[in-house]
Chains A and B, each alone.
Chain A
């Protein structure tokens, strides 16, 4: 296989995820509105919001450093890099010499997302208001609790596949060597708990809130405006769909077996279907629960840790 194909594949799937990211947000908002007996905004509202933000001018805090302008750029770049790593509809088959696509490691993917979060939090402290600091402090606290669980979930799958490479994990699934059993079920449950935390939704965070004291992620974005804010919002949409795609890649990958248009279309429909199911899950939880008190979160995420740990234990014992 020529060396350019992995790049084209990675960039193509990245473009797909970036293009669909706002749509997923729109879908969740719409579903949530319907569940609350409202008509809600159109599915394409997030695209209009982005277009508006990118056209606008920007206001910068007069105390901010040069980092403040760099943060949205670096955060979006890191999130896009993560998007290039997750297989969506197709993975290149492993070569006979064991050579694989050099992009696609699960730990690297989590690393890029963590870099995005690190820089967003640092940028939030730049303007020097209490809201940014509060958001950053809480976001980093949640992240320290989420990250070990994510790693254990990934490892419980990786132990079976013998690799942390997502392409390898997907190949392990699609070649029928993997039977969906109790460990997968437990790990999937843990992953769904984490999905709520990673996408910043109720009960961990409230994306709709405008009360400063209750927000985590929104609090960090408070001082950004115009194109910078647009970058951060787009990064958030992309991160959401990346995590959704990661759930699928780890457990139920709908992958095409070849690059023929028919197979790709089938795989894409599978991806879209599963994404709608996960979006419905997020919307259902968001419409039927309240945000948890911040210091109750360790217990909530603890459920995830216990089931992820049990999944790993079942796999090994």
Chain B
């Protein structure tokens, strides 16, 4: 089967899945099953098409669709970059399709029809974005993606979800408006919607116009990717959707925006030759560093598991943008810079896949917890590890991966990002080089904070004693849900332990974006073993995560054998030491307490609010009752959006004061405006 047949079958399967409610409207269960079956088939086809296109780049998929309008036909094509993102999308969609039916049975939304139609349209639109070969298809698919995910965000109903949906759709459409504006400017010049002609036209733009267009596009895409300060919708919308949809939104939808950044930056808006304007790379790098540090700092103070994970998506998008930024900065500069640019781009692409895998896994684990306890507040959970061992171990695996610790996948891509930043810093020298080193230390800070955050999230959720009756009565989730989680966990382990074969998949998009020999010539992949990047002056940096993981495994088995060796003195169980009191769940460290030192250290940023009410009675030293309330507010919300809102309200009230309600007054305003407009623009 050829890739283009496969792609057609993929979209057909999604269409069948989306139409399931029509065929099986009589039964909620059958609708869900059929819808997710369509999703599963389509996603498996997607993985297959993507891998085929990546390994055999000489068989590109090109097709033109029906002409919606006389001036624009819909057309699709799949190059290396598109195929790689198709792989990411489809991989998480497979896991979501496996996880979905059982999750929705236990945790249903208002309508099964919306669930299955929404998720199929959502995934198909994302796939269509990376397939798009003209502006119209791109925008239509982009809009489909937004609307379908909106429907899923508000599917569960309720005040909070409606508000989340409103913020989400407003931000998404502001972004789309920017994209549309840029496309209209380009299409007007090219007199065609086709990407090929747009690219040709963009090559003739002046540097100023090019940079302006790039920043407009970046603004539009950043709103979708959740880059600080345009991230405020993300921690609202992602937790509101059903968990497997959250996995898709967080793991994949943000990546579609990253696809846009790469597509526009390296391809559509790039000059024909010569380096890209340095302001692009620096902007992306600085946005990335800011997002990663602020994202993880706010994640630390969240107590809702899905909200915490959503903030981590802000962080990881930042890490991806750091790799992309250094690549934008250094590509086409010749010599060592080219090599470092390739490493940076490969790091960004690999982290895209990695984040999709571990964030998908963690959101699915959060879904399992929701099914088992109907709770997401960390403070009410606890002790789940003994009742749900599968979910606990898989969550731990995801936590280690997202904290960028060896031997899992997060480490590999962060290691590559570190290499790109350090070797890039060495190649750039001077103040620019120092800026790259600062970005590297921001990345290190991010890694440390992420580790702290996930010790908290894992420990408070799964360890200790249950802090509510729901948590005490949790049971492990069914096999089909575990299968979805296991699939993503397997990806995390495989990319971590055998990065070589996966990097060969990254080769095609790198070659497609920065040309030249691609990554294959620059990164030595000695079998599955060694991943090494040539640095400056022939210096070599190599790390073999395979060898390291093998060593770790062997050592762990050895130590285990030694520890588990039978001894004369046996083992016994005893209650935890709590200074002589009877231990109960109130002795456990809570999430708020765990994050307290960091809240204190970064107080200037968090500006935490707290109210303490103390009821002491006669003796001031004996407290009878204590009520504590604390909150950390997002600095973007208070400093930016609140002020923006205040400004808008201020202007609105000024306008209202001048709205007299008299028709004569309004006619006066209209005539005045007309006169001014004529004076300003009517000369020619």
A interface residue count range (under 10 / 10 to 19 / 20 to 34 / 35 or more): 35 or more
A117 CA to B433 CA, complexed, in Å: 31
Stretch at the interface among A40-48, A126-134, A186-194: A126-134
Q: Say how far B313's CB is from chain A's closest CB, in angstroms.
A: 20
CA distance A107 to B452 in the complex (A): 18
In the assembled complex, the CB of B297 is this many whole angstroms from the nearest CB of chain A, namely 10
CB distance from B497 to the nearest CB of A (A): 13
The closest CB in chain A to the CB of B549 belongs to A81
If over half of A's interface residues share one DSSP class (helix, strand or loop), that class is named, otherwise mixed; here it is helix
Tell me, yes or no, whether A63 is within 8 Å of chain B by CB: yes
- How distant is the Cα of A158 from the Cα of B431 in the complex, in angstroms? 17
Evaluate whether A115 and B406 lie within 8 angstroms (CB atoms) in the complex, with A163-B541, A164-B541, A168-B540 already known.
Answer: yes
* Contact between chains at A103 and B544 (CB < 8 Å): yes
**Does B418 interact with chain A (Cβ within 8 Å)?**
yes
Please determine whether A144 and B449 come into contact, CB atoms closer than 8 angstroms.
yes
Question: A122 interface residue, CB < 8 Å from B?
Answer: yes
Nearest Cβ distance between residue A253 and chain B, in whole angstroms? Answer: 17
Taking a contact as CB atoms under 8 Å apart, the answer to whether A161 and B548 are in contact is no
In the docked arrangement, what's the CA distance between A316 and B536, Å? 14
The answer to the question of A60 belonging to the interface, with a C-beta cut-off of 8 Å to chain B, is yes
Query: Which chain B residues (449-468) contact chain A, with CB distance < 8 Å?
Result: 449, 451-452, 454-456, 458-460, 462-465
Residues of B within 8 A of A298 (CB): 601
Whether the pair A162, B537 counts as a contact (CB closer than 8 A) is: yes
Pairwise interchain contact A130-B589, C-beta atoms closer than 8 A:
yes
User: Distance (Å) between the CB of B212 and the closest chain A CB?
Assistant: 32
If A67-B396, A81-B548, A98-B540 touch, does A147 touch B445 (CB 8 Å cutoff)?
A: yes
Q: Determine how close the nearest CB of chain B comes to the CB of A278; give it in whole angstroms.
A: 24
Are B597 and A294 in contact (CB-based, < 8 A)?
Answer: yes
The verdict on A141 contacting B451 (CB below 8 Å), with A94-B540, A127-B576, A163-B535 known, is no
Interface hit among A70-78, A240-248, A261-269, A284-292: A70-78
A17 in contact (CB, < 8 A)? no
Residues of B within 8 A of A128 (CB): 382-383, 463-465, 576, 583, 585, 587-588
Interface membership of B577, Cβ < 8 A: yes
Interchain CA distance A223-B585 in the complex, whole Å:
16
Given A143-B448, A143-B452, A144-B451: A63 and B465 interface contact (C-beta under 8 Å): yes
Q: Which residues of B contact A156 (CB under 8 A)?
A: 437
- Is B529 in contact with chain A by the CB < 8 A criterion? yes
Q: Specify the main secondary structure of chain B where it touches its partner.
A: helix
Is B563 an interface position by the 8 A CB rule?
Answer: yes
**Complex contacts, A117 vs chain B, CB 8 Å:** 451
CA distance A245 to B577 in the complex (A): 37
B552 within 8 A of A: yes
Indicate whether A129 sits within 8 Å of B455 (C-beta atoms), given known contacts A73-B559, A107-B415, A144-B449.
Answer: no
Contact of B596 among A85, A102, A137, A143 (CB under 8 A): A137
CB distance from A308 to the nearest CB of B (A): 9
Tell me the bound Cα distance from A134 to B539 in angstroms: 44
Enumerate chain B residues within 8 angstroms of A273, measured Cβ to Cβ. Answer: none
| Shortest Cβ distance from residue A72 to the other chain B in the assembled complex, whole angstroms | 7
Provide the residues of chain B in CB contact with A87, threshold 8 Å. Answer: none
Q: Which residues of the partner chain B approach A222 to less than 8 Å between Cβ atoms?
A: 577
Give the residues in chain B near A155, CB-CB below 8 Å: 422, 425, 437, 440-441
Choose from B400, B445, B463 the contact partner of A65 (Cβ within 8 Å): B463
The segment from A19-27, A28-36, A50-58, A202-210 found at the interface with B is A50-58
CA separation between A22 and B339, bound complex, in Å? 44
Q: Is B570 an interface residue (CB 8 A)?
A: yes
Judge whether B567 and A108 touch: CB under 8 Å.
Answer: no
Complex CA–CA separation, A133 to B594 (angstroms):
7
Q: Is the CB of A226 within 8 A of B389?
A: no
Identify which of B430, B542, B596 contacts A100 (C-beta below 8 A).
B542
Contact between B392 and A65 (Cβ–Cβ < 8 Å)?
Answer: yes
Q: Which residue of B lies closest to A144 (CB)?
A: B448
Cβ of B433 and Cβ of A132 under 8 Å apart?
no
Q: Tell me the complex Cα distance, A143–B448, Å.
A: 7
B564, chain A: closest CB distance, angstroms: 9
Report the separation of the CA atoms of residues A74 and B408 in the bound assembly, to the nearest whole angstrom. 14
Are A118 and B455 touching (Cβ within 8 A)?
Answer: yes
Q: Which of B396, B459, B588 has the most CB of A within 10 A?
A: B459
Which of A72, A134, A227 has the largest number of chain B CB atoms within 10 A? Answer: A227
CB<8 Å pairs between A and B, sample of 18? A73-B559, A73-B560, A73-B563, A100-B542, A117-B451, A122-B459, A125-B455, A125-B588, A128-B464, A128-B465, A128-B583, A130-B588, A147-B444, A151-B443, A159-B433, A162-B537, A162-B539, A165-B543
Known pairs A77-B558, A147-B447; list 20 more (Cβ under 8 Å): A56-B567, A59-B574, A85-B548, A102-B543, A105-B542, A111-B415, A121-B455, A127-B464, A128-B585, A129-B578, A133-B459, A143-B452, A147-B445, A151-B418, A152-B440, A159-B433, A161-B539, A162-B539, A165-B541, A295-B600
**B contacts, CB < 8 Å to A:** 382-383, 385-386, 389, 392, 396, 400, 403-406, 411, 415, 418-419, 422-423, 425-426, 429-431, 433-434, 437, 440-445, 447-449, 451-452, 454-456, 458-460, 462-465, 529-530, 532, 534-545, 547-548, 551-553, 555-556, 558-560, 562-563, 567-578, 583, 585, 587-589, 593-598, 600-601
User: When A and B form their complex, which 4 residue pairs have the shortest distance between CB atoms, in order from nearest?
Assistant: A133-B589, A57-B569, A125-B459, A102-B544
A residues adjacent to B (C-beta < 8 A): 10, 54-67, 72-74, 76-78, 80-81, 84-85, 94, 98-100, 102-103, 105, 107-108, 111-112, 114-115, 117-118, 121-122, 124-134, 136-138, 140-141, 143-152, 155-156, 158-159, 161-165, 168, 222-223, 226-228, 231, 294-295, 298, 309, 312-313, 316-317
